[in-house]
Amino acid sequence: MTLSPDAKRFHDVAGRLSLPSQAFIDGRFQAAHSGRTFETLNPATGNVIGLVAKAEAADVDLAVTAARRSFRDGSWSRCAPEHRKSVLLRLAQLVRDHAEELAVLESIDSGKTITDCLAEIGEHVPTFFQWYGELADKSFGKVAPTGEDALALILKEPVGVVGLVLPWNFPLLMAAWKLAPALACGCSTVVKPAEQTPLSALRLAELAMEAGLPAGVLNVVPGFGETAGQAIGRHRDIDVVSFTGSTEVGALFLRYASESNLKPVGLEMGGKSPLVVLDDAEIDDHLISNAVSAACWNGGQNCSANMRQIVHAKQKEAFLQKVVEGVTALKVGDPLDPETQMGAMVTHEHMERVASYVDKGRREGARVAYANDGKHGQGFFLNPTVFDGVTPDMAIAREEIFGPVLGVIEAADNAEALDIALDTPYGLHASVFTRDMDKAMHFARRLPCGTVSINCFSEGDVKTPFGGYKQSGSLARDNGVEAMDQYVQTKTVWFHLKPTG
């Protein structure tokens, strides 16, 4: 393979990386209690890049013990909020300083493009630590109105030890979405990265110690869902779990909680989000590049991806032609090449699962408007597919595929477009394109989902809450001031005051 100079530079960085391989518990790296390890692969080559400690229930227990001890000793949970702020700001800066190393680590562990990894890790991850660090000393309690014989304080206290269970599609970004507010609130944490992508969270834990986080406040237990994940879900000394992943596993966390200590569980789960093009939308380059990103960004491995693209009948042909042109132009291949726009699927198994939906779409009678069986090396690469003639009853229109399979559904009019958009058990995100503000607001109000983006494909930013209605989430939200609610308890302190003087 001939590499461009930029790609070669990132391959060289990859060659020099020393990969974390142990669990991070109580401020230090350590082997799994059992001594077992598991392989982590580079999806772009299919090769094993390292062995990682296989944390199981005993390791989760050690991590929870360390987290509880650190929570009780108060070095983080009861310290001055200005101190928490300064540590989180230092961590933000350390992530920026190590952005290239972390981005390459993320790319080789996940198959994500280096361009996306640099944006996520160089810009967004530090922004989260900075923004929540800044909030740490600006979050106030309340005083309730009372007569003069009383004083009623409403206090917000860190909830305690929180378990953070993460997916593989945005490994470090999802860690930051949860860790930044949890740490800003003063909680101690046990993080379980997805088994497919354990490396970046481990390296982050090391940087957090360098930033001054006390030992035990941030523990990382790399391991599998059924063992390490379940041990977190069922642990009686974990006060709250915040989970991001599939709806199926989210439901298991509710069961684990009900069968253990009734811990609250914040759930951010799957989706089958619509993108709706109304009768008056302009089918211009902006709309098309957003529609293509909505389906193909991160290889379609994105919870808020818009795979159901519902288009008004009079716009359908123009839209389809341009969206196919847009998808055709996408550069799929070596994730470490900055020119690449779509890297590899995370695992061979996931690639096969997505490919099986392409077969299913064909069998269901959808028309293939774009497909490409070009190869990109030994890894888990899958080119995008565009289906036309998708109907709302097809599996490819109903089930979360989590890969680059864009389905165009024609709607007779705007009202039918809304009915089709509503016809899903999920409620994470929707994109609506129109030039008419009234229509935009009508759709925004009617769509039961956590985020509606108008005339763009967007998940908002650090300041705006993100989460799902229906089977995409619980009432918990990541991001925004609202994320803090997952990690605090509310306490009333009622004083009886004697009249004096």
* Least distance CB 296 / ligand NAD (angstroms): 16
Is residue 486 within 8 A of residue 242, CB to CB? The reply is yes
Say whether 195 is catalytic: no
Residue 269 binds to ligand NAD (criterion: CB under 6 A): yes
Q: 3-class SS at 455?
A: coil
Task: Please say which residue, 136 or 238, places its beta carbon nearer to ligand NAD.
Answer: 238
Is residue 188 within 8 A of residue 67, CB to CB? The reply is yes
Residue 110 binds to ligand NAD (criterion: CB under 6 A): no
* Least distance CB 498 / ligand NAD (angstroms): 51
Single residue of 102, 104, 184, 194 touching ligand NAD by CB under 6 A: 194
Question: What are the b/e assignments for 404-433, b being 16+ CB within 10 Å?
Answer: bbbbbbbbeebebbbebbeebebbbbbbbb
Among residue numbers 449 through 488, which ones bind ligand NAD (CB under 6 A)? Answer: 468
* Least distance CB 250 / ligand NAD (angstroms): 7
Q: How far apart are CA 122 and CA 443, in angstroms?
A: 35
Site string for ligand NAD, 278-317 (x = CB under 6 A): -------------------------x--------------
* Least distance CB 110 / ligand NAD (angstroms): 11
Q: Is the dihedral of CA 392, 389, 279, 293 positive or negative?
A: positive
| Largest Cα–Cα separation, the chain | 88
Which of 185, 296, 303, 449 is catalytic? The answer is: 303
Whole-angstrom Cα Rg for the chain = 24
Is residue 381 within 8 A of residue 301, CB to CB? The reply is no
Q: Which two tokens stand for residue 114?
A: 């280096």
Residue 421 φ then ψ, to 5°: -60, -35
Task: Please say which residue, 10 or 170, places its beta carbon nearer to ligand NAD.
Answer: 170
Residue 285 φ then ψ, to 5°: -60, -35
Task: Please say which residue, 29 or 224, places its beta carbon nearer to ligand NAD.
Answer: 224
Nearest Cα to 468, choosing from 481, 445, 452, 455?
Answer: 452
Residue 165 binds to ligand NAD (criterion: CB under 6 A): yes
Stated as kind and residue range, the H or E segment containing 47 is strand 47-53
Q: Which two tokens stand for residue 499?
A: 């009249």
* Least distance CB 89 / ligand NAD (angstroms): 25
* Least distance CB 159 / ligand NAD (angstroms): 20
Among 145-153, 160-168, 258-266, 480-488, the segment contacting ligand NAD (CB under 6 A): 160-168
Among residue numbers 10 through 29, which ones bind ligand NAD (CB under 6 A)? Answer: none
Q: Residues with Cβ < 8 Å from 245, sequence gap 6 or more?
A: 165, 166, 167, 194, 268, 269
Single residue of 43, 271, 326, 403 touching ligand NAD by CB under 6 A: 271
Category of 407 on φ-ψ map: left (φ > 0), alpha (ψ -120 to 50) or beta: beta
Which of 268, 400, 410, 449 is catalytic? The answer is: 268
Single residue of 120, 206, 388, 400 touching ligand NAD by CB under 6 A: 400
Among residue numbers 205 through 264, which ones bind ligand NAD (CB under 6 A)? Answer: 224-226, 229-230, 233, 244-246, 249, 252
Q: How far apart are CA 27 and CA 17, in angstroms?
A: 21
Stated as kind and residue range, the H or E segment containing 205 is helix 199-211
**Count of residues engaged in binding ligand NAD, rule: CB under 6 A:** 28
Stated as kind and residue range, the H or E segment containing 294 is helix 285-296
Say whether 410 is catalytic: no
* Least distance CB 352 / ligand NAD (angstroms): 14
Residues recognised as catalytic: 268, 303
Binding residues for ligand NAD (CB under 6 A)? 165-169, 192, 194-195, 224-226, 229-230, 233, 244-246, 249, 252, 268-271, 303, 400, 402, 428, 468
